[in-house]
């Protein structure tokens, strides 16, 4: 292993600034969708290249072809002068390309070490028998080297939380010193600490003369952590720019293809919060998640919840909606109604959009129409009998109000992009006429254009007197949108901030960690 | 399929992969099977006498399939139809000596009770339906065997006198109409499809998922109990093999009818009718062509496998609940 590092270092010294990867006329279709359309890119050794674009711009599809997850639809990838055609991730690894993905990329039921060496068990196999001891020792050495010594190689991966599992994945993707590391929207799943660890590793890879392709929706981190940025739009190559010459607005404009207004977030400050309380949460606890959480939500207020991803704030949203297992304490409306079941919550005007959009918010394998009508179905029935045309008209109206990009409401949600799925979720609750909206990570994995629309909608709802609880891992959107922010740490509320232009990210982070 | 120009094949392929075509596939399959069977049996299957016989075999499987259709739409599965039919038939036969309405009620209640047991374990203990229903299948098959060890259980002459075509047709059509109405025009259909397509998201959208699942299992059991009545008036006495392998027959019928094995939003009510007819034609054709029962099973197995492989929606693929 040591020899290999030296070899790489020697090579990198010679190849600084040299072309590493040439992608020519890369193409990919999914059915009628032209996901990647004749994209040609050149990437140098020793750079961090940002790859940005709105949802559906083809950036993930492009990089996943490079990593052997999708088959290459057309064109060629040339790495160090040699054409490559990885048919799966292990082949891509052997060519020197590795990827870290947004969602869970480790396998439950295996140990940390087994996950790290998945597909590369060879060195630890003796006549078909695995030497677990040697594997654990090597894995632990790697974990220590990365500074993740608290993670034990011999433990089952299931013992660790999402964040730690992500760190294991980072080790898995980088220990073999890949020539190219693709980081595909990994940071949205990470807390501030985890992000810092990842940036350190990216910088180390660059210092070593190797390359990172960094895909992210967070343009702030793209600007601070990349050398150059390639922009894709609707599957087509738009251009590559030097990061140093760019501002966030420049990038947004290139991504969207038009000027984005300056009012991204709300721009009002100093409006008082109404005294009228619409929802009281008292001493709510969920074992192992949150303990004794109490707060009040006011009429026309956007109440933000921030914290690290495991701080319990996501469970607060579920608890209000009565979707937690084993909740104690009380959630009551202004009129004294206790919210103890999802049905009561929905019928008393509470809406909930989960962070896990595809599994908990929306029924992916169902039509847009049926997703929108589901909570309102009793209201739409006459003596229990439904009229299909009425349902279709109802869904059509609310989907169109949200400007959902679709053929018609009979289309399945599985065909839609993340941003449009979220629009369907919001259309459903606006259709129900909910007055209290609990939105967990409302803009997670959503592109700039839809994000802007969602912020505008939230500001609009607030003006109408609706109350919103916004749970978010993105500090800028908390600062930009909330009237009041509660910061959570280890399952309890650890700080409260009022809306203020002087409030900074650091103020919030100080209460999170 | 000559490539005349570039447009045609892609249009054809788009049509072949469209949902419209997939929805039509079972109907086309039914027509093809009828034609093929008609040729292979030299036209004997389409005689009036044969058709009457065919129809007489359709009633009770269609009633049972209606219940199982809802179970499978949930994304669950039920293997207890055969033993439920056997046990309910025994109950009906014994009660038929006292009162016919009592016998019918007894049959339906027996089925509903078995459905309730399945539903209870499925919902409360979060066990997968195919595990529970395999357990209860053996359990109630055992009870049937025990009750029929000495001799077959006879039914009263009064109940046998009800073996009238109009009665059986009325019951079957009534069941189909009511189920169709509930499926299309009440929230039940929407709830059941939503659970099959995504249970957690359905729960978070206000569907009382546990209650829906429990009630669907009870209803499926009750319908099998009603089907047992139709069975009793036809056969007159119940042996240990009553309803044997009915569960696989229903499963194959529904899948042949185009029901996705994963359930969810893409089910169609017509799956019940098309599937049951297809199975019955296929079954009769194989008998008339003189295949031995082992060979028949082999052929049915292959056709089933082909259909599942052709029709399964790989995007929606998950473990059957």
- The interface predicted TM-score (ipTM) is 0.85
Alpha carbon separation from A19 to A23, A44, A92, A211 (Å, rounded): 11, 4, 19, 10
pLDDT surpassing 80 at residue B242: yes
Candidate ranges A13-17, A128-132, A332-336, B264-268; pick with highest mean pLDDT: A332-336
B294 found inside a domain: no
The mean-pLDDT minimum among A55-69, A270-284, B127-141, B196-210 falls in: A55-69
> For residue A488, is it left (φ>0), alpha (ψ between -120 and 50) or beta?
beta
State percent of chain B over pLDDT 70: 90
- Residues of the domain holding B162: 59-244+260-265
| Range of A201-205, A259-263, A458-462 with top mean pLDDT | A458-462
Each residue of A201-252: pLDDT tens digit? 899 999 988 999 999 888 888 999 999 999 998 888 888 989 888 888 888 8
3-state helix, strand, coil in chain A (%, to 5): 40, 25, 35
Cβ atoms of residues B288 and B41 within 8 Å: yes
Interface mutation target, options A358, A374, A388, chain B, most CBs of B under 10 Å: A374
Is the pLDDT assigned to residue A386 strictly greater than 80?
A: yes
Evaluate whether residue B315 is within a structural domain.
Answer: no
CA distance A335 to B42: 76
> Confidence band (pLDDT; 50, 70, 90) for B16?
low
For residue A512, give Cα distances in angstroms to A107, A163, A218, A506, B201. 29, 15, 20, 10, 30
| Residue B10 pLDDT | 63
Report if residue B54 sits inside a domain. no
Give the closest residue to A478 by CA, choosing from A437, A443, A427, A428: A443
pLDDT at A344 over 70: yes
Q: Does residue B148 form part of some domain?
A: yes
Residues whose CB is less than 8 angstroms from the CB of residue B228 and which lie 6 or more positions away in sequence, other chains included? B60, B84, B85, B88, B89, B91, B92, B107, B110, B111, B243
Residue B73 pairs with which residues in a beta bridge? none
- Going by C-alpha positions, the residue among A315, A317, A312, A426 that lies closest to residue A362 is A426
Say whether A57 sits in a helix, a strand or coil: coil
**Per the structure block, which two tokens stand in for A316?**
């607060």
Please count the other Cβ atoms lying within 10 Å of the Cβ belonging to residue A336.
Answer: 7
Tell me if B265 and A412 make a contact (CB, 8 A cut-off).
Answer: yes
The answer on pLDDT for A29 being more than 70 is: yes
| CB of A379 less than 8 A from some CB of B | no
Euclidean distance between CA atoms B244 and B293, whole angstroms: 14
Kindly list the structural domains of chain A, giving each domain's residue range(s) and its CATH number in brackets, ordered by start.
Answer: 2-96+178-255 (3.40.50.300), 105-170 (no CATH), 276-349+435-513 (3.40.50.300), 363-433 (no CATH)
Closest CA to A77 of A56, A92, A90: A92
Per the structure, the count of domains in chain B is: 1
What is the Cα gyration radius of chain B? 20
- Would you say residue A253 has pLDDT above 90? no
Structure tokens belonging to residue A162: 């999402």
- Among A residues 191-230, those touching chain B with beta carbons less than 8 Å apart: none
Rounded distance, CA A87 to CA A91, Å?
Answer: 6
Confirm whether B67 is domain-assigned.
yes
> What is the average pLDDT score of chain B?
88
Residue of A nearest to B263 (CA): A365
> Pick from A59, A55, A165: which is nearest to A110 by CA?
A165
Q: What is the pLDDT of residue A2?
A: 38
**pLDDT at res. B18:** 66
Nearest CB neighbour to A359, from listed B14, B198, B266: B198
Nearest Cα residue in chain B from A411:
B19
Closest CA to A201 of A240, A172, A231, A161: A172
Output the pLDDT for position A72.
87
Q: What is the pLDDT of residues A167-194, one digit of tens each?
A: 888 888 888 888 999 998 887 767 777 8
Cβ within 8 Å, pair A374-B208: no
* A342: nearest CB among B187, B194, B204: B204
Confidence of residue A103 (pLDDT cuts 50, 70, 90): low
Pairing of strands A277-286, A350-353: unpaired
Which position has the higher pLDDT, A125 or B222? B222
B194 touches chain A (CB under 8 A): yes
Q: Which two tokens stand for residue B127?
A: 């066990």
Task: For residues B194 and A365, give the distance between their C-alpha atoms in angstroms, rounded to a whole number.
Answer: 9
Inter-axis angle of helices B7-16 and B19-40, nearest 10: 80
Chain B hits for A384, CB-CB cut-off 8 Å, are: 186-187
* Contact criterion met (CB < 8 Å) for B193 and A373: no
C-alpha–C-alpha distance, residues B249 and B279, integer Å: 8
**In angstroms, how far is CA B123 from the centroid of its own chain?**
22
Q: Tell me, yes or no, if A32 comes closer than 8 A to chain B by beta carbon.
A: yes
Q: What is the distance between the alpha carbons of residues B244 and B303, in angstroms, rounded to a whole number? A: 20
Please report which residue ranges of chain B form alpha helices under DSSP H.
7-16, 19-40, 48-56, 59-73, 81-95, 100-124, 129-147, 157-160, 165-185, 187-197, 199-203, 209-235, 246-256, 270-288, 293-311
Distance (Å, rounded) from C-alpha B192 to C-alpha B211? 11
The pLDDT assigned to A17 comes to 64
Residue-wise DSSP of A97-116: EEEE-SS--S-TTSBHHHHH
Contacts of B198 in chain A (CB under 8 A): 359, 362-366
To the nearest whole angstrom, how far is the Cα of B205 from the nearest Cα of chain A?
Answer: 5
Mapped onto helix, strand or coil, the DSSP state of residue A87 is coil
Q: What is the pLDDT of residue A140?
A: 92
Is B308 part of a structural domain of the chain?
no
Residue range A304-328, pLDDT digits in tens: 999 987 889 999 999 999 998 889 9
Is residue A413 within 8 A of residue A367, CB to CB? The reply is: yes
Q: Chain A contact for B166, CB < 8 A?
A: no
3-state secondary structure of A126: strand
Specify which residues B229 forms β-bridges with.
none
Q: What is the pLDDT of residues B24-43, one digit of tens each?
A: 778 888 888 888 888 888 87
Please name the residue ranges forming H helices in A327-447: 342-347, 368-373, 377-380, 388-401, 418-432
Q: Which one has a higher pLDDT value, A53 or B106? A: B106
Torsion angle of the four alpha carbons B40, B42, B46, B48, in this order, in degrees rounded to the nearest 10: -140
A220 closest CA partner among A441, A475, A511:
A475
Structure confidence at residue B125 (pLDDT): 92
Q: In the 8-state DSSP scheme, what is residue A498?
A: E
Rounded mean pLDDT, B208-228: 97
């Amino acid at each position: 292993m040591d020899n290999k590092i030296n070899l790489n270092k020697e090579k990198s010294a010679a190849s600084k600034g040299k072309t590493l990867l040439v992608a020519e006329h890369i193409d990919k279709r999914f059915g009628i969708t032209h996901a990647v359309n004749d994209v040609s890119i050149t990437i140098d050794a020793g750079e961090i290249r940002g790859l940005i674009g709105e949802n559906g711009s083809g950036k993930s599809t492009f990089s996943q072809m490079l990593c052997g997850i999708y088959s290459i639809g057309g064109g060629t990838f040339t790495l160090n002068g040699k054409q490559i055609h990885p048919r799966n991730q292990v082949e891509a690894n052997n060519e020197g390309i590795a990827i870290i993905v947004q969602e869970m990329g480790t396998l439950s039921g295996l140990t940390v070490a087994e996950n790290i060496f998945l597909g590369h068990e060879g060195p630890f196999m003796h006549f078909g028998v695995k030497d677990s001891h040697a594997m654990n020792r090597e894995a632990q050495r790697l974990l220590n080297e990365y500074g993740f010594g608290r993670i034990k190689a011999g433990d089952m991966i299931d013992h660790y939380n999402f964040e730690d599992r992500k760190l294991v994945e980072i080790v898995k993707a980088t220990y073999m010193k890949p020539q190219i590391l693709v980081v595909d929207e990994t940071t949205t799943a990470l807390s501030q600490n985890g992000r810092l660890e990842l940036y350190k590793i990216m910088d180390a890879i660059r210092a070593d003369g190797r390359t990172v392709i960094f895909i992210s929706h967070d343009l702030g981190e793209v600007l601070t952590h990349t050398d150059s940025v390639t922009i894709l739009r609707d599957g087509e190559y738009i251009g590559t720019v030097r990061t140093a010459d760019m501002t966030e607005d420049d990038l947004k404009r290139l991504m969207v293809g038009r000027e984005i207004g300056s009012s991204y977030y709300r721009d009002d400050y100093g409006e008082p919060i109404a005294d009228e309380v619409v929802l009281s949460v008292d001493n709510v606890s969920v074992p192992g998640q949150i303990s004794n959480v109490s707060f009040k939500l006011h009429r026309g207020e956007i109440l933000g919840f921030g914290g690290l991803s495991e701080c319990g704030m996501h469970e607060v949203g579920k608890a209000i909606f009565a979707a937690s297992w084993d909740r104690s304490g009380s959630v009551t409306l202004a009129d004294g109604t206790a919210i103890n079941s999802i049905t009561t919550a929905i019928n008393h005007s509470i809406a909930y959009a989960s962070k896990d959009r595809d599994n908990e918010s929306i029924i992916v394998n169902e039509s847009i129409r049926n997703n929108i009508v589901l909570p309102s179905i009793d209201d739409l029935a006459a003596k229990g009998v439904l009229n299909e045309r009425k349902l279709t008209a109802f869904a059509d109206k609310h989907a169109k109000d949200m400007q959902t990009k679709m053929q018609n409401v009979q289309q399945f949600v599985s065909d839609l992009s993340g941003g449009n799925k979220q629009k369907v979720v919001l259309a459903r609750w606006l259709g129900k006429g909910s007055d209290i909206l609990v939105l967990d990570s409302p803009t997670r994995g959503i592109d700039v254009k839809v994000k802007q629309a969602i912020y505008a909608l939230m500001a609009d709802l607030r003006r109408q007197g609706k109350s919103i609880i916004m749970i978010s891992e993105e500090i800028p959107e908390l600062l930009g949108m909330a009237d009041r922010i509660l910061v959570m740490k280890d399952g309890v509320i650890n700080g409260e901030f009022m809306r203020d232009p002087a409030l900074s990210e650091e103020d919030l982070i100080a209460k999170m960690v | 399929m000559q490539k005349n120009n570039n447009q045609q094949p892609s249009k054809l392929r788009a049509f072949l992969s469209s949902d419209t075509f997939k929805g039509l596939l079972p109907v086309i399959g039914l027509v093809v099977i009828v034609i093929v069977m008609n040729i292979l049996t030299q036209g004997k299957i389409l005689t009036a006498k044969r058709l009457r016989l065919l129809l007489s075999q359709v009633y009770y499987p269609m009633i049972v399939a209606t219940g199982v259709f809802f179970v499978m739409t949930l994304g669950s599965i039920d293997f207890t139809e055969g033993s439920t039919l056997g046990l309910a038939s025994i109950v009906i036969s014994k009660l038929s000596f006292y009162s016919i309405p009592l016998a019918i009620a007894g049959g339906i209640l027996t089925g509903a009770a078995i459905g309730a047991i399945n539903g209870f374990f499925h919902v409360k203990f979060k066990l997968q339906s195919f595990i529970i229903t395999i357990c209860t299948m053996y359990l109630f098959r055992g009870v049937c065997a025990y009750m029929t060890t000495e001799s077959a259980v006879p039914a009263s002459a009064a109940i046998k006198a009800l073996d009238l075509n109009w009665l059986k047709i009325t019951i079957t059509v009534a069941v189909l109409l009511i189920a169709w109405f509930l499926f299309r025009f009440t929230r039940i259909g929407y709830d059941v499809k939503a659970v099959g397509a995504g249970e957690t998201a359905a729960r978070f959208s206000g569907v009382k998922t546990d209650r829906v699942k429990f009630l669907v299992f009870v209803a499926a059991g009750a319908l099998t109990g009603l089907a047992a009545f139709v069975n009793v008036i036809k056969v007159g006495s119940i042996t240990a093999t009553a309803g044997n392998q009915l569960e696989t027959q229903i499963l194959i019928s529904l899948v042949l009818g185009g029901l996705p094995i994963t359930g969810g939003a893409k089910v169609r009510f017509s799956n019940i009718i098309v599937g049951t007819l297809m199975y019955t034609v296929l079954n009769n054709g194989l008998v008339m062509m003189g295949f031995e029962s082992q060979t028949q099973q082999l052929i049915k197995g292959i056709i089933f496998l082909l259909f599942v492989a052709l029709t399964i929606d790989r995007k929606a693929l998950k473990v059957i609940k």
